[in-house]
Structure 1
Amino acid sequence: MLIGVIADDFTGASDIAVTLAKGIQGEGGLKTTQYLGVPSRPAGAEVEAGVVALKSRSVPADQAVAQSLAACRWLQAQGCEQIVFKYCSTFDSTDSGNIGPVIDALAAHLGAKSVVVCPAFPAMGRSVYQGHLFVGDRLLNESGMQHHPLTPMTDADLRRVLQRQSHNRVAHIGWQTVSQGSDALSQALAKAEQRAETLTERTPGGAADAKQWADALSERQPGAASEASSQLMGATLVVVDAISEADLAAIGEACCHAPLVTGGSGIALGLPHNFIAQGRVSGKPAYTPKIVGAEAILVGSCSGATRAQIAEHQKYHPVMMIDVGDVMSGATGPDRLVDFIQAHQGQSPLVYSSGDPASVRQIQQQYGRGKVAAALDALFGATAQRLVAAGIRRIVVGGGETSGAVVSALDLGALTIGEEIDVGVPAMFSQGDQPIALALKSGNFGGKTFFARAVASLRG
């Protein structure tokens, strides 16, 4: 294994996994496997890139740091020469969020002096310019993300957002440098590294403050940050602009020898090239099986894009809406969902709990956000288990939290990454004698006909 990825949620993990698997167009990528949590066994010898999918995006910083360091150690044990920390391309993290603390801890553990921070994903309309994150032509804080129920994003300046979380210095490399290519960018990153070394020598107070933070973290999560405590404030976190895939390719080439790279899925676009250019990998895709079996679509996202996809799917396929109130009261359980799906086999049946933001807020206020989320996760997880037991072999899941619930319940261990169904969404295949095919879609990903196309694509 050459590249190891630590992803903070399940759909984001599959997103960056397919980016690594396809690489730069015409060149190919790496044979990639996604792992559901930190594995207890070594990876297969054929794996060139491994993606560890955590469910850490919304957990307290100390827990996220502990989980991420555990994943990092496993990936290093598999021989990984480069670690990538993947977070959402909309940088979902409040001032008390964990992106900064995780980067700090990983940088200290790996001895990284300059760390690229770039959530840009131009194919999905996410770009970074002058240190600000855009969604399409809107600043992040004007894109609708300011109303996110868990991680409202009210500041588009990534430098400010990250500095409020990190104990390291935050710097910026503008597009004017990135557009000059990888050599110019490499020189700028080298200067950031030199600045980090100078600051480490000249700011003992900063290092002491960082050590105090790490010691406090260790008290809450024993062992989580003790190894990092003496090295924090020894790195510069560099927000790097990117507005095109050519920019991402340049960043990837400039990061050829970087022990740690961080960003959205797009950051991985140019990384396979470095190993292909060295002749260490072939760029050929991994083998994926042909899947014969029935299908199901489970959706728990309430994003506007997902609601539009459900409306389109409903024109030609059977769809059942789940009343969340009935779920909370116990009137609706897994059996009802399974019965509906089995009664409409061959028709790409879909069940969903999506709703408009107002109705979602109302039900959360009535029952409590945590209880509603736990109840829906349990419902979709139990439904997936019963569907597989009944012979379902192709499952499409919409929504990051729902995807996490489903793959956790199925306990599939490792998934081989196949072809891309839609931007950022691959076909994924479990291992063993009776493989299951999965597609895990983040809320805002995919075109209007995504669900029907995904079911067809999962035949392998």
Structure 2
Amino acid sequence: MLLGVIADDFTGAGDIANTLAKGRPSEGGLAVVQYMGIPAGPAKPSVEAGVISLKSRSVPAADAVAQSLAALAWLKDQGCRQIIFKYCSTFDSTREGNIGPVGEALAAALGVRGVIVCPAFPTVGRTVHQGHLFVHDRLLNESGMENHPLTPMPDANIRRWLSLQVKGPVGLVSAATVRLGPDAVRTALDASGKMGETLVIVDAATDDDLVVLGRAAADAPLLTGGSGIALGLPGNFITAGLAKGNEASYEGCDGPEAILAGSCSGATRGQVELHARAHPVLPISVDSVMAGATVPGDLVAFIQGHAGRKPLAYSSGTPQDVQAAQSRYGRDAVAHRLDTLFADTARRLVDGGVKRLVIAGGETSGAVAQALDLGALRIGPEIDPGVPILVSERRGISLALKSGNFGRASFFAAALDALKGPPHD
């Protein structure tokens, strides 16, 4: 294994696995496998990049650090030359972490400073300029992320936000330096490291900027960022003759289908609204779940009762609804009950024969993936930017795990069609 990724949630893991498998059109991608947690045994020799999916974004910082260091140890045992710490392109974190503590711990374990921090993903509108994170034309704290139920982001200045999470100073490599090319970026990062800056925010507004960062980091033991940070990395290994590249194909998976959505993002709410116009949907009341009146059997009965019609069960309230529920029951209690509901529902559905499964929301996807015991996942074609088809040979199913903010308006129906695969003559 050449490259290892430690992802702080399951949708983000699929996102960067997709980037690594796809690569740039002129260069190609790597042979990638996504793991649900830290594997118990060694990777297959054919794996060039391994992506470990953790559910560490919203746990206590000390737990996130411990999980990430354990993942690092396994990846080093596989021979990885380079490690990426993957987090969301909206820098989902609190004042306490977990991006900063995990990034510092990984850097300390690898003995490096001047480590790139870049959540930019221009394809979906995430860019970084002068250390400020934008979502399309809006600052992060004006994009809706300030209302996130678990990791509200009130500050678009990610250099300042990261400084609250770490022990040492945080550096900045500005857009002007990035536009000078890989050598200038490498020199700037080296200078930051000599000044004691372990983590360094690096501006990026285009895919070309991300390729520059990839070239600059060709020999870097550690990078951190969104999936875009990996854009230029496969070409480094392929050009050096170290990787053969990705030749995987996808033949499709037919059979019963289900959609479960636990994201409260504006994008997911819009996708639910559009899907409801032509397909059966089941709204889930948080009050009903907390009272024990809505249970997994109710969701299973709904999905099975509408087989073949792309049924969707969802809990996707407005920010005001979410805040009200958290005030009544507690944030952690609500998250736990909803995660458990969706996880148990997904397990019963797959045990009952569902073959195509679409899940929306990072926390929901993590809970479902852990409950299903999926094994190593093969990376299939991209459905939408950041969302690939995932194939679990252990369970004989195909999945799409969607971050809340990703996907076109008609994503749910389109994803199920994509999982079915191309038409056969």
Mapping of 1:362-377 within 5 angstroms? 362-377=324-339
**Across the two proteins, how many residue pairs are aligned to each other?**
421
Contact 1:289-1:429 at 8 Å conserved across structures: no
Q: Is 1:435 aligned with 2:396?
A: yes
Cα 1:289/1:44, change in 2 over 3 Å = farther
For residues 241-262 of structure 1, give each alpha carbon's deviation from its aligned partner in whole angstroms, at most 9, with x where no partner exists. Answer: 0000000011001100000000
Structure 2 residue 7 is the aligned partner of structure 1 residue 7: yes
Q: TM-score, normalised by structure 2?
A: 0.96
The Cα of 1:238 is off from its aligned counterpart by 1.4
Q: Give the aligned partner of residue 81 of structure 2.
A: 81
Q: Distance in 1 between matches of 2:15 and 2:304?
A: 29
- The percentage of counterpart residues that share the same residue type is 60
**C-alpha separation between the residues in 2 aligned to 1:10 and 1:282?**
26
Q: For 2:368 and 2:332, how far apart are their aligned partners in 1?
A: 18
Q: Which residue in the other structure is 1:229 paired with?
A: none
Residue equivalent to 1:276: 238
Aligned with 1:152: secondary structure? coil
Q: Which deviates further from its counterpart, 280-289 or 98-107?
A: 280-289
Counterpart position of 1:207: none
Q: For 1:80-130, what per-residue CA distance to the aligned partner results, in whole angstroms no more than 9, with x for missing partners? A: 100000111111122211211111111111111220010111111111111
Residue 110 (structure 2) pairs with residue 149 (structure 1): no
Secondary structure of the corresponding residue to residue 421 of structure 1: strand
| CA displacement 1:120-157 (0-9 Å, x = unmatched) | 11111111111111111112222222222222222222
1:418 aligns with 2:380: yes
Per the alignment, residue 266 of structure 1 pairs with 228
- Where 1:95 maps in the other structure, the secondary structure is coil
SS of 2:219 mapped into structure 1? coil
Residue of structure 2 equivalent to 1:34: 34
Instruction: Name the counterpart of 1:451.
Output: 412
Give the conservation status (yes or no) of the 8 Å contact 2:149–2:319: no
Query: What CA deviation, in whole Å up to 9, does each residue of 1:286-316 have, x standing for no partner?
Result: 2445323211000111111101101111111
* Residues 408-433 of structure 1: per-residue CA shift (max 9 Å, x gap): 1101121111111001001000123x
Q: TM-score, normalised by structure 1?
A: 0.89
Corresponding residue of 1:131 = 131
Of 330, 336, 349, the residue aligned with 2:298 is: 336
List gaps (5 residues or longer) in structure 2.
Answer: none
> Shift of residue 390 of structure 1?
1.1
Q: In 2, are the aligned partners of 1:288 and 1:416 still within 8 Å (CA)? A: no
Q: What is the identity, as a one-letter code, of the residue corresponding to 2:173? A: I
Report the secondary structure of 1:50's partner residue: strand
1:47-101 Cα distance to aligned partner (Å, 9 max, x none) = 1111111111112211111110000000111111000001111111222112111
Measured after TM superposition, the shift of residue 403 of structure 1 is 0.5
Work out which of the residue numbers 226, 242, 245 in structure 1 matches 2:204: 242
Q: Distance in 1 between matches of 2:151 and 2:302?
A: 34
Please, which moves more after superposition, 389-398 or 39-48?
39-48
Alpha-carbon distance in 2 for matches of 1:147, 1:319? 25
Q: Distance in 2 between matches of 1:435 and 1:351?
A: 22
Q: What is the match of residue 208 of structure 1? A: none
Deviations 1:365-394 (A, max 9, x none): 222222221111111111111111111011
Residue 387 (str. 1) matches residue 349 (str. 2)? yes
- The runs of 4+ residues in structure 1 deviating greater than 3 Å are 193-196, 287-290
CA contact (8 A) 1:21 1:31 kept: yes
Aligned to 1:213: none
Return the offset for 1:168: 2.8
Given that residues 32 and 286 in structure 1 are in contact (C-alpha distance below 8 angstroms), is that contact kept between their aligned partners in structure 2? no
Deviation at 1:341, TM superposition (A): 1.1
Q: Distance in 2 between matches of 1:101 and 1:367?
A: 29
Q: CA RMSD in A?
A: 1.4
User: What is the alpha-carbon distance in structure 2 between the residues aligned to residue 180 and residue 411 of structure 1?
Assistant: 46
C-alpha separation in 2, matches of 1:329 and 1:164: 38
1:202 matched residue in structure 2: none
**Partners of 2:98 and 2:17 in 1: how far apart?**
22
Partners in 1 of 2:117 and 2:206 — Cα distance?
A: 16
2-structure distance, mates of 1:306, 1:35: 25
In structure 1, the residue matched to 2:70 is: 70
> Partner of 2:420: helix, strand, or coil?
coil
**Distance between the aligned counterparts of 2:243 and 2:16, measured in 1?**
19
Measured against aligned partners, the alpha-carbon deviations of 1:248-293 in whole angstroms (never above 9, x if no partner) come to: 0110011000000001111111111100111222333324453232
What displacement does 1:33 show? 1.0
- In the alignment, what sits opposite 1:186? 186
Q: Given residue 367 of structure 1, which amino acid in structure 2 is its aligned partner?
A: Y
Q: Work out whether 1:400 is the aligned partner of 2:347.
A: no
- Give the aligned partner of residue 206 of structure 1: none
**Corresponding residue for residue 25 of structure 1:** 25
Deviations 1:331-352 (A, max 9, x none): 2211111111112111111111
